[in-house]
Amino acid sequence: MRLGALETGGTKMVCAIGDENGRIHDRKVIPTGTPRETVPQMTAYFGEHGVEALGIGCFGPVELDRTSPRYGYITSTPKKAWRDFDMAGAFADALHCPVGLDTDVNAAALGEAVFGQAAGKGVVVYLTVGTGVGAGIYTEGKLLHGMLHPEAGHVLIRRKESDGYAGNCPYHRDCLEGLASGPAIEERWGEKAALLADRAEVWELEADYIAQALMGYILTLSPEMIILGGGVMRQEQLFPMIRRNVARLLNGYIQTKELADMDRYIVPASLAGDQGIMGALELARQAFAASRADKK
Ligand code: ADP
Ligand code: ZN
C-alpha cells in the first residue's frame, strides 16, 4: 500500500512516502511558511507519489472530534498563520484520499506502540521535552482523545524552593512546560541548553521536574512503558536521574515488574527520530481502513 505521512513542525514539514509496515521509501523536508506557501508544495509531493491515504501528526491544539464541523482544524496554536486552518480538509480536498490526523505526540506514541519498542504493550506514554512539552497517550490499543486530546505537558508540579525561575507558560506560568521546556532551561540559566551539559545542577532540577510529572502519569494511567523524546532528552544523563527520582517519589507505594526494571521502563525513543513519521503512516493506514469500512 502506498501511504503518505506528514509530521508538521514550527520550522519544517517532514513529508514521507511509505507503507503499512512502517517502511519509509522516500522523504522530503519543506520549510514551514504560511499555509498558502507550504501546503501546495506538500500536496504536490504526495500527489506525485499517488498516495492512497495520508496520515498527519500535527502541532496543536487540533480538533479531533469527528462529529465537529471543525474536525481536523488547527485551533489556538501560537503559530498565527496556521490558526483556524483546516489541515485535514486541505489535504483531503487536494489529494482525494482518506486523511487521518492526530497530534504530533500522539503520532509518536503510535509509532512506538505499533512499530517500535512498545509493540505489544497496551498502555504507553510518550513525552516530548523540547520547545514545548507534550505527551501522547496510547491506551488499551488506541490513542487517547476524550474531549480533546491529552495536554499532559501542562500539568502542575511543585516548584523547588531553590529555583528562582518563575516559569514561562503564558497560561499557567510554572506548569511542567513552563519550568522544564528547552526555552525555560535557557531562560533560567542564561545559556543554550546544549551548552549546559556539564552543569550538574541544571539536569538535577530538570530530572526532578520531569519525574514529578511522570509520577502523576504513572499513578493515573498505569503505563507499561514511558518513552521520553525531544531535544532536551538528548542529555542522556537525564535518564538515570529521572528513574531514580521516580523511584524516590513513588517510595514503594506500588510494586510492579515494570517498576522493578526501571532501565526498560523509562526509555529513550527507539526509532531514530522516525517515531512520529512512522506513527503518521499508521494513521494513514487506519484512515484507509476506516474509509473502506464506511463504504461497505
Ligand atoms: P521542537 O520541540 O521544536 O520540535 P526539539 O524537540 O528539537 O524541537 O526541541 C528543541 C529544544 O530542545 C530547544 O529548546 C533546545 O533548547 C533543546 N535542545 C536541543 N538540543 C539539545 C541538547 N543537545 N541538549 C539539551 N537541550 C537541547
Ligand atoms: Zn502551561
pLDDT digits 0-9 by tens, 193-243:
999 999 999 999 999 999 999 999 999 999 999 999 999 999 999 999 999
Q: How far is the CA of 130 from the centre of ligand 1 (A)?
A: 5
User: Using an 8 Å Cβ cutoff, are 214 and 223 in contact?
Assistant: no
Q: How far is the CA of 255 from the centre of ligand 1 (A)?
A: 33
Q: What is the pLDDT of residues 20-76, one digit of tens each?
A: 999 999 999 999 999 999 999 999 999 999 999 999 999 988 999 989 999 999 998
Mind listing the pLDDT tens digit for each residue in 154-165? 999 999 999 999
- Quick one: pLDDT at residue 77? 80
What is the three-class DSSP state of 218? Answer: helix
Question: What pLDDT digit, counting tens, does each position of 244-267 carry?
Answer: 999 999 999 999 999 999 999 999
What pLDDT is recorded for position 295?
Answer: 81
Nearest CA, atom 19, ligand 1: 231
Which domains are assigned to the chain? 3-104+273-295 (3.30.420.40), 117-269 (3.30.420.40)
Residues 6+ apart with CB under 8 A from 275: 107, 108, 111, 112, 116, 126, 227, 229, 269
Section 94-99 average pLDDT: 98
Q: Where are the beta strands (DSSP E) in the chain?
A: 3-7, 12-18, 24-31, 53-58, 99-103, 123-129, 133-139, 142-143, 225-229, 266-268
Whether pLDDT at 178 is above 80? yes
| Nearest protein Cα to ligand 1, atom 18 | 231
Q: What pLDDT is stored for residue 55 in this prediction?
A: 98
From the CA of 191, the nearest ligand is 1
**Ligand 2 center from residue 219 Cα (angstroms):** 20
CA neighbor of 256 nearest in space, from 229, 225, 227, 228:
225
pLDDT at 137: 98
Ligand 1 neighbourhood includes 230 CB (under 6 angstroms): yes
